[in-house]
A and B are shown apart, each in its own frame.
Chain A
Amino acid sequence: MSATSKVPLKDGMEGFVSDWASDQRAFKGVPWGKAMMWIFLLSDTFIFSIFLISYMTARWSTVEPWPNTSEVFALTVNGVSVPLLLIAIMTFILITSSGTMAMAVRSGYQKKRKQAAALLYLTAILGLSFVGMQAFEWSKLIEEGIRPWENPFGARQFGSIFFMVTGFHGFHVSVGVIFLFITARKVLRGDYDTGRRGFFTWQKGRYEIIETMGLYWHFVDLVWVFIFAFFYLW
């Protein structure tokens, strides 16, 4: 389980082959939790890809016109309609949270307990504000009459697929926020220094958990970039 390997590793293609031909571990020095997160994210990639492919098919198969996204997603500020304003802020916040997450991983490995916890809390709060703004966006669209089953601005699939995919992404962010708060609390309490056992799993945690958490968080950000491009810019 430890992050370091006693066996010297080779570089490049030769190293790849010798790792996979070896015993015990295919990914040398990779803890179980981190490897599991990677495989899970691959599986999750399929889920989001299929969501996006379904979205493209829906745009293609519907007979009604697709609403103009730069109008539907515009905010009116001082009487001026600014397209994509809210989305620009949301995207900026989520990308920023990826940065603070990466810093938290670094602090964790340096065993700077308080710093890592503070950065994790900051990441969680940024994520929370993203979800809050998404709720604002949803309520604005619902107020304008867009529903999963109907849409006054054109094809009804717009509403259905928008709520479904951003909802599913928002769910991912929310789960991430919850686990960020839990991890932050554990870091602050020093669980990973004292080897305190998890409430459910009875396993001892390590600072590597922050990196595993970070993988998930970066993935959720990356998915958002695709959702942003396909829903708001297309």
Chain B
Amino acid sequence: MSESIIPESELEEVELYHPKSWWTEKVFSQDAKLIAIQYGLTAFAIGFVALVLSWFMRIQIAFPEMAIISEGTYYQFITMHGMIMVVYLLTALFLGAFGNYLIPLMVGARDMVFPYLNMVSYWTYLVAVLVLFVSFFTPGGPTGAGWTLYPPQAILGGTPGQETGIVLMLVSLCIFIVGFTMGGLNYVITVLQARTRGMTLMRMPLTVWGIFTATVLALFAFPALFVSAVMMLFDKLLMTSFFMPALVEFGENLSYGGGSPILFQHLFWFFGHPEVYIVALPAFGIVSDLISIHARKNIFGFRMMVWAIVGIGALSFIVWAHHMYVSGMNPYFGFFFATTTLIIAVPTALKVYNWILTLWKGNIHLTIPMLFCLGFIVTFLNGGLTGLFLGNVIVDVPLSDTYFVVAHFHMVMGIAPVLVILGAIYHWYPLITGKMLHDGMGRFHFWITFVGSYLIYFPMHYLGFIGVPRRYYEMGQTEALYTSSAADLNVFITIAALAVGFAQLVFIYNVFWSAKNGKVAEKNPWKSTSLEWQTPEQPPIHGNFGKELPVVYRWAYDYSVPGAEDDFIPQDVPNEKVKLAEGYKELGVEKT
């Protein structure tokens, strides 16, 4: 094999900001790695609030005679649970936390391209979270409009939190979007313009591809939410009528008239559907890398995986109205959107096949990250299949607004991405802290979470089939409509939900316990090829790499290469420096 060619450096060495005080080093830090941790901790903190809300809701549904929360509070909790989980937890965690930590390290950059802007992005996000959280303590409480915030009901009397809760929710969303845009521009430009020598786009790990594509989607989808939030704020505060038709309330004509509530649904879902993939694509990317690393095998069909990510991203912009089959829109629209929705199943299925084919005959290590990946594949497949039901208009109409929908989206964009996040934390925790997470607690956490999630959401499909509607805080005198098994099943689901909740407490304990008492991680404990593990120090310090940025000679998936002594070749090792196994003269060439 010929000498590896080292490309000439196009970029000048960047000058990093060197903090001069404790405040600029530890708090207002411009280091992407610390910003990532700040993002992650904030997202987990507000996400924990949303988790606790779900416990209250589950107890209420299972034991309505306890009357633990009122019907208004139930709506408020359901709204806040949904919005926090989708936007403030999952989006912020995947893009803000994983994006910030991994993009510069994985593409071989010293930091994000605009560290200052990156810092402002986090603090803006924190303000958005605080504004949202404050609404719990305002008169009337947080909004109870449902996470979709459909007008006209969202801002009218009778909806809990219509005094201040809805205003704070909309303001918080606007602030979030502003903050996200600052971070998102950073992630995109770092990937496009600040890679190290030899790092072509097709040598980037799929994690970076997933986060990058999701960020592009977010930059183009969030504007729709921003504009609709601004217009609804004006409807609420200035009495404009963008989304408000003429209405009669308690026999009195309201001062609204001439607006279009359907417009809001279109705008909301133009954001809302790409949002599903903003959460899913980083999960796809991370899970691809984790499977490859822990099965010691290159990812099957790398190029196809990349194009599937890009294709899903593009398609996600033309499927939004499948959330609106029962909104009364033109049936021909339904036909169009059902078609595009089913087309999106093609690249998605391709990814699932490729994960399975990567595992095929792989040297599978059943480490905790791998367990979470396997859990993800099963859960995602399940959630994806029910998506085929809901994507078809005729099947969707009777299932709409039942527990079948709840089961579908929790499987596909709740549990599935969360399993990836947890697996990713077990995988990268040694890099971030230098310590391993406790293995026993981790296995306990995985099995309770995975099995428990199935026990929660699998029965919900059945509840949906027998027509139990979602968002009802109790079923009341409905024995004539539903069999008593529905009520029994709700008790069962609640017990499973509380068990899963408890397992998360164990996980949180593990994270803090291991940071202090965990086993010290050896260098590159998973024997991974990608650049984030090749830094001189572990955990990496400010500036990430040593004096010289690494040069990349290969893709990120050189596992179990024939002829090499180790079963992995890091990306920054040229062919001539690879240690050959006994009896081999060259990489990849059979013994002579």
Contact = CB atoms under 8 A, between A and B. Distances in A.
- Are A and B part of the same complex? yes
Nearest to A55: B242
B181 interface: yes
Given A24-B199, A42-B219, A43-B223, A54 B263 contact: yes
A155 B234 contact: no
A198 to B, nearest CB: 8
B435 interface: no
B239 A27 contact: no
Contacts of B220: 42-43, 46
Interface string A54-80: 100110011110000000000000000
A63 B270 CA distance: 26
Interface in B232-265: 234, 238-242, 255, 257-260, 263
A15 interface: no
B377 to A, nearest CB: 31
Given A7-B10, A47-B223, A51-B227, A61 B258 contact: yes
A148 interface: yes
Interface string A14-53: 0000001111111110101001100110111011001100
Given A24-B7, A164-B230, 18 more contacts: A5-B10, A23-B195, A23-B196, A23-B198, A23-B203, A24-B11, A25-B192, A25-B193, A36-B113, A43-B181, A43-B219, A44-B223, A47-B226, A47-B227, A54-B267, A61-B259, A148-B238, A201-B116
Query: Most chain-B Cβ atoms within 10 A of its Cβ — which of A2, A5, A46, A200?
Result: A46
Given A24-B196, A54-B231, A149-B238, A46 B224 contact: yes
Nearest to A147: B238
A20 B201 contact: yes
Nearest to A29: B10
B57 to A, nearest CB: 33
A51 B193 CA distance: 31
Interface of B: 7-12, 14-15, 17, 113-114, 116-117, 181, 185-186, 188-189, 192-203, 219-220, 222-224, 226-228, 230-231, 234, 238-242, 255, 257-260, 263, 267, 270, 552
A6 B242 CA distance: 54
Contact of B194 (A32, A44, A156): A32
Contact of A200 (B113, B116, B259): B116
Contacts, number: 149
A160 interface: yes
Counting from the closest, the 9 A-B pairs by CB-CB distance are A160-B240, A62-B258, A46-B223, A149-B239, A61-B260, A201-B116, A47-B223, A43-B219, A50-B227
Given A64-B258, A148-B240, A1 B12 contact: yes
A161 interface: yes
B189 A157 contact: no
A24 B9 CA distance: 8
Contacts of B113: 32, 36
A202 interface: yes
A6 B10 contact: yes
A32 B193 contact: yes
Contact of B189 (A6, A39, A156): A39
Contacts of A194: none
Contacts of A161: 242
A53 to B, nearest CB: 8
Contacts of B189: 32, 35-36, 39
Contacts of A156: 240-241, 257-258
B240 A202 contact: no
Nearest to A57: B263
A157 B258 contact: yes
A22 to B, nearest CB: 6
A201 B263 CA distance: 41
A106 B263 CA distance: 44
B223 A50 contact: yes
A210 B270 CA distance: 35
A157 B259 contact: yes
A20 to B, nearest CB: 7
B13 to A, nearest CB: 10
Query: Most chain-B Cβ atoms within 10 A of its Cβ — which of A5, A25, A28, A36?
Result: A36
B196 A32 contact: no
A58 B239 contact: no
A233 B8 CA distance: 54
28 contacts: A1-B11, A5-B10, A7-B8, A21-B200, A21-B202, A22-B7, A23-B552, A24-B196, A24-B199, A25-B11, A26-B201, A27-B192, A30-B193, A32-B114, A32-B189, A32-B194, A36-B185, A39-B189, A43-B181, A50-B223, A54-B227, A57-B260, A58-B259, A148-B238, A160-B234, A164-B240, A200-B116, A201-B117
B108 to A, nearest CB: 9
A32 B263 CA distance: 37
Contacts of A61: 258-260, 263
Given A40-B185, A156-B257, A23 B116 contact: no
A118 B533 CA distance: 51
A101 B239 CA distance: 39
Contacts of B197: 23-24
Contacts of A42: 219-220
Nearest to B258: A62
Contacts of B238: 148-149, 160
